[in-house]
Amino acid sequence: MPDTRLILASASPRRRELLDQLEVSYTCHPAHIDESQSGGEVPSDYVQRMAREKVGAVATHYPPPAYAVLAADTVVVIGGVVLGKPLGRADALAMLARLSGRRHSVLTAVCLCTAT
């Protein structure tokens, strides 16, 4: 699809940096969705749902197949609990202290939508 334009459904500087390193042309359009974890939702299901929902929200503005919408979500999990985004410096330091010396997982889900 040579005429397809890539839309990055993210405000993440790291995701933009990765595409820039690949010299990929894209437009950035962050998804504005509720990122709350549903009750009883396991971390792997949650991260996959977030990537899909980000794509879905942005694809309404950039419909496939003229556009390919790319989204990803990453979470840190410790003891089966997803750590959310830190609320500030103190919260970030508390999270780092909680993770220090303890086994944890980092899960990333990627979703690419090229067709309706």
What Rg value do the Cα atoms of the chain yield, rounded?
16
User: So what's the pLDDT on residue 59?
Assistant: 95
**Percent of the chain predicted with pLDDT > 70:** 97
Q: Is 70 exceeded by the pLDDT of residue 95?
A: yes
Confidence of residue 3 (pLDDT cuts 50, 70, 90): low
Q: Is 80 exceeded by the pLDDT of residue 22?
A: yes
Return the half-sphere exposure (C-beta side, CA atoms, 13 A cut-off) of residue 28.
12
Could you write out the three-class secondary structure of 26-88?
EEECCCCCCCCCCCCCCHHHHHHHHHHHHHHHHHCCCCCCCEEEEEEEEEEEECCEEECCCCC
First to last CA, the chain: 15
Q: Is 90 exceeded by the pLDDT of residue 2?
A: no
Active-site pick, 20, 45, 73, 91: 73
pLDDT tens sequence across 37-72: 999 999 999 999 999 999 999 999 999 889 999 999
User: So what's the pLDDT on residue 1?
Assistant: 40
User: So what's the pLDDT on residue 84?
Assistant: 87
* Angle 41-37-8 from CA coordinates, rounded to 5°: 115
73 is catalytic: yes
Q: Is 90 exceeded by the pLDDT of residue 96?
A: yes
